[in-house]
Structure 1
Amino acid sequence: MNIQSDVKRLLARSLQLGQRADSLTAESSLLGALPELDSMAVVTILTALEEHFGFTVDDDEISAETFATLGSLVEFVDGKLKS
């Protein structure tokens, strides 16, 4: 399983990024850089991650740093999978 590819695919689908998703790298900024990524989109993405990876996310686990870059979001998912 490639977590980054899965997270990128879920982001692309949730935010309807189309071809723009292809250029996302671990260093790509998300929050503040993608106009589609608003508070409702964050909830949609978290739900998609929970369903896809089979974990639950508590409100106190999420911060702006989680969605700072694709890499930080992947690190969050990886940490959830290891716990």
Structure 2
Amino acid sequence: METIDTTVTDLIDVVVTTLGIEERRADLSAGTELLGGIPELDSLALVELVVVIEERFGIAIDDSEFTGEVFETLGSLAAFVTAKQQNAA
């Protein structure tokens, strides 16, 4: 089971790789805004990111879970992913 801090680190890896923003890795943290904060994260990139997150973390994200609160920051996404993993265990 991963901790939220570990999940944030792993999500940063997923985000920079999926969006092709490796040069900005050092600028990302739990407080980084996702929707509206990362220009590359448009609606198509969000769908791609979710697929990669599902595969990487072994979770399924339902369409109803695509909320602004979940995707507000890397920290809120990490908390969501961690909770999904715990519920699946």
Instruction: Specify the SS of the correspondent of 2:70.
Output: helix
Alignment of 1:42-81 (within 5 A): 42-81=46-85
CA deviation after TM superposition for structure 1 residue 3, in Å: 1.0
Whether 1:29 and 2:15 are equivalent positions in the alignment is: no
CA deviation after TM superposition for structure 1 residue 22, in Å: 1.6
Alignment RMSD (CA, Å): 1.0
4+ runs of 1 displaced by more than 6 Å?
Answer: none
Q: Match for 1:19: what amino acid?
A: E
TM-score, length basis structure 1:
0.92
Instruction: Specify the SS of the correspondent of 1:67.
Output: coil
CA deviation after TM superposition for structure 1 residue 48, in Å: 0.4
Q: Unpaired runs of 5+ in structure 1? A: none
Give the Cα separation in 2 of the matches to 1:3 and 1:66: 14
Q: Match for 1:25: what amino acid?
A: S
TM-score, length basis structure 2:
0.87
Give the Cα separation in 1 of the matches to 2:26 and 2:81: 20
Give the Cα separation in 2 of the matches to 1:29 and 1:20: 13
Instruction: Specify the SS of the correspondent of 1:35.
Output: coil
